[in-house]
């Protein structure tokens, strides 16, 4: 095997590798040279026939050729792969100037969002949602709740009456006829629930309420969340634990200070108003430890007379109730400064303060807001 021979072989293989236009063609070149029956392999096998120095010299030359050829094939392989990638990229190009998929336009109104959040918090505590009619009568809205006809609390409620209220001129039976009105709070749903289901009761009532009042902080229609728990041994400790837990979960502030301040409602005894800690900052109100308090809800132990009015024995059952303004807690959490904007139907406002429909609030998935 002469040096010329080897040079010719080198040229042949390296030319073939350089000419290969595909990985498959290149692979046949490799097999033809370095495979089991390849030209270089065959020559290596022939080394055994030589002896001594001749074998050593020929072996070294063949090894050098083998390495050179293998290197040339590798290099060609890399070049072919690069070219293939370039070709692919050229056809698969992504037009990054295309706009992203159209943005969802609809937004969830902050009142719906607050409702979903509050329902999910109380739902986790075992409450179910209950509802009642917006159009009520005197008995459900007032009398059954221990607010008799002459009670001063009726004045505070600024009631919208739907039918002429002729009670003043009337006497006898007519005096007791129920006036038809727009409910001034969600508390009548306490009565309707206690009349229709027997304890234990654990309900949360989101709903619209109406009062004849309109200024910076009042709108004629607003929303409330009412809660009612009735069982044999429910006590004030349960009320406190439940509402403290609610405040933490809703405002998403783990150690928000909660204060129970003695108050009065005709349908609860004892009664309290709940304040949460806050700080007034330059940009508004920050919920959490601070030097100020914000009133957020009314509550108390259900008055025995209310239980009796619904046919529940107050000697056997007791429980607690609470009520809060939905707009108020929504404004505090989402930083909405003006109550009246809730009902302006201004799309710019809704786009700003509204919520993305697919982000459904849950305690585990995050309440949002």
**Is the separation of the CB atoms in 114 and 326 below 8 Å?**
yes
Rounded CA separation 350/357 (Å): 12
The upper half-sphere exposure of residue 195, i.e. CA atoms within 13 Å in the direction of its Cβ, equals 12
Our CB check for ligand PHE shows the closer of 140 and 322 to be: 322
CA distance 211 to 31: 93
- Across 257-293, b (16+ Cβ under 10 Å) vs e yields bbebeeeebbbbeebbbbbbbbeeeeeeebbeebeee
Residues 68-107 that bind ligand PHE (CB under 6 A): none
Residue 185 sits in the site that holds ligand PHE (CB under 6 A): yes
In whole angstroms, the minimum distance from the beta carbon of 362 to ligand PHE comes to 26
Assess contact for 118 and 242: CB atoms under 8 A. no
Number of residues that bind ligand PHE (CB under 6 A): 11
Report in angstroms the alpha-carbon separations of 359 from 113, 354, 366: 10, 11, 9
Among 187, 234, 309, 318, binds ligand PHE (CB under 6 A): 187
256, 276 contact by CB (below 8 A): yes
Nearer Cβ to ligand PHE, position 79 or 156? 156
Minimum CB–partner distance for residue 322 and ligand PHE (Å): 5
Closest CA relative to residue 258, chosen from 268, 266, 267, 249: 249
C-beta closer to ligand PHE: residue 179 or 298:
298
DSSP 8-class letter at 75: H
Residue 146 sits in the site that holds ligand PHE (CB under 6 A): no
210 is an interface residue for ligand PHE by CB under 6 A: no
The least CB distance from residue 267 to ligand PHE, in Å, is: 6
Q: How far is the CB of 347 from ligand PHE (least distance, A)?
A: 31
Asked if 268 interacts with ligand PHE (CB under 6 A), we say yes
Q: Which of 265, 317, 353, 355 binds ligand PHE (CB under 6 A)?
A: 265
Determine the residue with CB nearest ligand PHE: 323
**Other beta carbons within 10 Å of 169:** 8
Element (H, E) at 296: strand 292-302
Tokens of 79: 């070049």
CB of 187 to ligand PHE, least distance (A): 4
286-305: contacts with ligand PHE (CB under 6 A): 298-300
| Beta-strand pair 268-281/201-210 | unpaired
Nearer residue to ligand PHE within complex by CB, 187 or 193: 187
Pairing verdict, β 201-210 and 128-129:
parallel
Phi, psi of 264 (to 5 degrees): -145, 130
Which residues 303-342 are close enough to bind ligand PHE by CB under 6 A?
321-323
Residue 222 or 353 with smaller CB distance to ligand PHE: 222
Q: Pattern of binders to ligand PHE over 224-263, x per CB under 6 A?
A: --x-------------------------------------
In angstroms, the CA 245 to CA 115 distance is 17
**Is 188 near ligand PHE (CB under 6 A)?**
no
- Footprint of ligand PHE (CB under 6 A): 185, 187, 226, 265, 268, 298-300, 321-323
């Amino acid at each position: 095997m002469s040096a010329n021979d080897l040079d010719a072989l080198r040229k042949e293989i390296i030319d073939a590798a350089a000419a290969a236009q595909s990985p498959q063609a290149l692979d046949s070149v490799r097999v033809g040279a370095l495979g089991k029956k390849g030209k270089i392999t065959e020559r290596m096998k022939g080394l055994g026939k030589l002896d001594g120095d001749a074998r050593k010299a020929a072996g070294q030359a063949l090894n050098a050729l083998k390495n050179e050829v293998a290197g040339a094939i590798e290099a060609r392989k890399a070049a072919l792969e690069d070219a293939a990638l370039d070709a692919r990229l050229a056809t698969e190009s992504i037009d990054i100037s295309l706009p992203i998929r159209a943005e969802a336009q609809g937004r969830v109104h902050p009142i719906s969002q607050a409702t979903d959040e509050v329902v999910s918090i109380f739902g986790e505590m075992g409450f179910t949602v209950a509802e009642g009619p917006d159009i009520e009568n005197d008995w459900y809205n007032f009398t059954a709740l221990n607010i008799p006809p002459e009670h001063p609390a009726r004045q505070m409620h600024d009631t919208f009456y739907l039918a002429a209220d002729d009670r003043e001129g009337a006497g006898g039976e007519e005096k007791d006829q129920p006036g038809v009105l727009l409910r001034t709070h969600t508390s009548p749903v306490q009565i309707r629930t206690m009349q229709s289901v027997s304890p234990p009761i654990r309900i949360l009532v989101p709903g619209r309420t109406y009062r004849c009042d309109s200024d910076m902080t009042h709108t004629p229609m607003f929303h409330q969340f009412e809660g009612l728990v009735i069982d044999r041994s429910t006590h004030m400790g349960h009320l406190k634990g439940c509402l403290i837990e609610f405040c933490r979960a809703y405002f998403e502030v783990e150690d928000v200070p909660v204060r129970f301040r003695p108050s009065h409602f005709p349908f609860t005894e004892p009664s309290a108003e709940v304040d949460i800690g806050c700080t007034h900052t330059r940009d508004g109100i920050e919920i959490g430890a601070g030097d100020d308090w914000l009133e957020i809800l009314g509550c108390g132990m259900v008055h025995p007379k209310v239980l009796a009015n619904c046919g529940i024995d107050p000697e056997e059952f007791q429980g607690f109730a609470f009520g809060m303004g939905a707009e108020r807690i929504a404004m505090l959490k989402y930083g909405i400064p003006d109550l009246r904007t809730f009902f302006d139907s201004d799309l710019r406002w809704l786009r700003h303060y509204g919520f993305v429909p697919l982000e459904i609030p849950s305690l585990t998935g995050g309440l949002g807001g």
